Amino acid sequence: MNLKEHIEKFDELHPEYSEDIDYTDKLFAGIDELESVIQDRDRIIENLKNESTELKNQILALQKEKSNILEELKKSGWLENKVTLSSKYKGNIKTILGEIKVVDTKIISMLTTVGRKKQANQKLTWKGWLTIPENRYLYEINESVAKDVYNATTEYIRRNFEDRKISRGGGAVTEKNYSLTFSGNAGGGSLNNHVTTNFNPDTYNLNLGFTVSYWVRPDEIGNTMFAFGRKHANNQRFTFGINRKRQSFFGIGSNTGVKSWVNMDTPVEESLLDESGDYWNLKTDGTWYHIVVTYDDRSDTSSSTARKVYVNGVLRQTDNFNWSNTGGSTDGMIFGGRRTSGNQYDNGWACGLQDVAIFNTAKDSDWVANVYRGKSETDLSGDSGIVGYWRFNEGSGTTAYDSSGNGNHGTLTAESGDTTDYPTWSTDKP
């Protein structure tokens, strides 16, 4: 018996209902609702198909771009022409996965900065960390770099937030805050203590623009003493210190410009100059100085650009030169002196250091003034372009952590080999 016959039989048995009610409408009402749901589902499926097609087109476009870049790399001899090629593609060269591992440090720095801002001070598991889109993209570009960033970020959060101690009295926060003191090697000193790192300025194309910011406390005054740096060759300097007793010395590339120190608390007047034209205001009485050196951003090395020197938030010197030659060195930078070719410690400086930050872009005068304001350190780990950051806040141990995410952690050491001769942690700070 079909559905119609059932309905007719029902009408025959119940004539009292058959005159006013159309049972077929009620019986098929649910079917109409189901058809509506099916239509909605079909629309959703159609939208998904369209989005899938669009995504496939985007993937094809990216694959084409990857192929073009790879072909250009093969034709150009990219090892010899990396700067030219980078300029041509305006810094957008990414890792060619499975082919040539070329990592654009500016992209990595940008992804690291945005990812950290989204993470804030929340400690995440590796799986949770990868749920942040920028971190996931970084992982797809270079798995090793992503893991280094994750580990450095986790360690930074642990040290700077989880290790804070709340006092029982008024609930005030006591945070670890230290500096690192070096012995230098003046007067035939035997300690020659320093901190070794694998930070190589060539890796981050700093000759296309950089900022170096640090706090230093001079404990001695002499000739050719460095707070930190690397000198692989005369045309590959990256050194920061003093020379001629009370002048600053910043060796960048082949330029060895010597600039005068000026105490921020003393007005800049001609009467302060001695007969040799030097400012004699650098003190060894425990005064901390904030130093910033910038090298203006540029797309290639075909012409000179400006280097600016700030002391205690004020621009003191500007000069122009071309840092054109990089590469050829695998030596890392050290703190407490400078490293020469062959990993040799050289020209140490007895001084205190804190908050050494290096960026692959030039910061402006407002940024410098804001960092200096208050005459104390500022957490710069979230700033754009950061490629190296040593706060020296550990307070103990033999490791000075790099909080930039690039994993160039420092190791405390001394030429004597005696651990008691290592650089010392100090609660003295700016």
Q: What is the mean pLDDT of residues 186-211?
A: 83
Angle at 183 between CA 264 and CA 202, to 5 degrees: 75
Higher local confidence (pLDDT), 120 or 347: 347
Q: What is the average per-residue pLDDT within 92-109?
A: 48
pTM of the model: 0.61
* Degrees, nearest 5: CA angle 212-395-421: 90
Q: Which residue has the higher pLDDT, 201 or 378?
A: 201
Residues 6 or more apart whose Cβ sits within 8 Å of residue 34? none
- The residues, ordered by sequence, that sit 6+ positions from 179 with a Cβ below 8 Å of its Cβ are 215, 217, 352, 353, 354, 392, 425, 426, 427, 428, 429, 430
80-84, 303-307, 379-383 — which one is most confidently predicted on average? Answer: 303-307
Cβ contact 149:387 at 8 Å: no
CA-nearest of 223, 243, 152, 197 to 343 is 197
Per-residue pLDDT tens digits for 43-99 = 777 777 777 787 788 788 777 777 776 666 566 554 444 444 444 444 444 433 333
pLDDT in tens, 140-164: 888 888 888 888 888 777 666 544 4
Selected residue with higher pLDDT from 26 and 413: 413
Query: What average pLDDT does this structure show over 262-286?
Result: 53
- At 278, the pLDDT band (50, 70, 90 cuts) reads very low
Q: Which domains does the chain have, with CATH numbers?
A: 100-162 (no CATH), 177-426 (2.60.120.200)
Percent of the chain scored above 90 by pLDDT? 21
76: Cβ contacts below 8 Å, ≥ 6 apart: 84, 85
What does the block give as tokens for 369?
């003034």
Averaged confidence pLDDT in the chain: 76
Residues 313-355: pLDDT tens digits?
888 888 898 988 666 667 789 999 988 876 678 889 999 999 9
pLDDT, mean of residues 21-30:
54
Q: Is 55 left (phi over 0), alpha (psi -120 to 50) or beta?
A: alpha
How many Å apart are CA 170 and CA 303, to the nearest integer? 59
pLDDT at 417: 81
Per-residue pLDDT for 210 more than 50?
yes
